[in-house]
Chain A
Amino acid sequence: MAERASVRISLQDLESTVSRMLSPFLGETMARASVIGHRDRLGIGGPEVNGDQVRALMEKIRAGLNVFVGREKSAGIVEEIVKALEQRGAAS
């Protein structure tokens, strides 16, 4: 789940990974707009993003997905995204 995200990752990687994994559900345009919108509202900036910021962003993403796929599935999708971010964070 999003709570366990302890990853440090570049903002660019975060945006591209989350957008890519949301695209099958929200479409490319809305996926990207969602990530950018939440990023701005949460004040996430800088070259690198810490675990708390990833968690906060994932919580917003989960709430957005909730109205399309329900709570259980949105939690599963967010978990997949967090796993992918952790892999990217570990690789970088």
Chain B
Amino acid sequence: MSRSAGVDVLFLIFAGVPALLFLCQPVFPGAGIYQGAASQMVFTYLASLTKLSFLALASRFAFLSAGRFERDNPIRPAWFLMAGGMLCTFLGQASLAPYQLYLGTPSPFPSVADLFFVLSYVFLVPGLIASMVAYRKAGLPIGTAAERWGVGLGVGLVCTAVGFAILRPIALQPAPPLEKALNLGYPILDFVLLIPTSLLLRIGLRFRGGQAGRVWLTLLAGFLVMCVGDVAFAYFSAFSQEQLFPIVHAMFILAYALLARGVVSQHGLLAD
């Protein structure tokens, strides 16, 4: 087995098994594994520590990769911005950890964690746009400006239509202003993130079969799953569907694992 395949297996075990356990929870809520206070505590630890581990790995290797690119390399700022976004997501998750791991109380919402989560978009969206700019500067065939505008506008229109359908009931639901703003804000920020993600995905699909494709397709899949997780969280939270939160945990575990895998692959590509 190659080193890369070995790392894949590790990611599959450490992300796939917890994600599967969380996905099964709403389907089989009466199963013995999900019963009892001790079991609940184990699952709380599992969700928190798995997410933190993958985010720590993602941000560390993203900074290492950014640092390995030369100062005048056009992709370097993009990697620093994405690393900053991953670090903010880690800090947001870490600020929830005391509630989850020590106090044993439900995580507050809104909280200081949301400050970091919102801040992460300030880095991630420009990071993805900077990646596209770097591709263009490097002379890679990324399609014409008209094609890019077409895809960007198309995705924007779909997001607006889907967003309206998803967010309207959330907007109409009675909730404290800040909570409502965040429940609306996260999916909107995700839709904004989806536009450069889709543009890069379109380019990234042309890289499939190559090591660069492996890095970017994994990374972009992580952003896509993260968007799905955020929308699910907003929906379940607005409609008090707490029994479905394990699905959100599964989504975020998978998203952060994919981000970490993509970033580790990029580091491997630079370090080999």
Closest beta carbon of chain B to A5's beta carbon, Å: 18
A45 within 8 Å of B by Cβ? Answer: no
Residue of A nearest to B140 (CB): A64
Chain A contact residues (Cβ within 8 angstroms of B): what range? 20 to 34
Task: Note all chain A residues with C-beta closer than 8 A to B137.
Answer: 67
Q: How many CB-defined contacts (below 8 Å) exist between A and B?
A: 77
A25–B141 contact, CB under 8 A?
Answer: no
Task: Note all chain B residues with C-beta closer than 8 A to A31.
Answer: 210
Cβ-neighbour of A64 out of B70, B139, B206 (below 8 A)? B139
CA distance A29 to B69 in the complex (A): 25
Cβ-neighbour of A23 out of B73, B209, B215 (below 8 A)? B209
Interface residues of B in 189-239 (CB under 8 A from A): 206-213, 215
A30–B73 contact, CB under 8 A?
Answer: no
Task: Note all chain B residues with C-beta closer than 8 A to A24.
Answer: 210-211
B70–A30 contact, CB under 8 A?
Answer: no
B178 within 8 Å of A by Cβ? Answer: no
Task: Note all chain B residues with C-beta closer than 8 A to A23.
Answer: 209-210
A28 within 8 Å of B by Cβ? Answer: yes
Q: Footprint of B on A, CB under 8 Å?
A: 22-31, 33-34, 37-38, 41, 60, 63-64, 66-71, 73
**Besides the contacts A37-B141, A73-B270, what 10 more A-B pairs have beta carbons closer than 8 Å?**
A24-B210, A24-B211, A25-B210, A31-B210, A33-B206, A66-B73, A68-B211, A68-B269, A70-B68, A73-B272
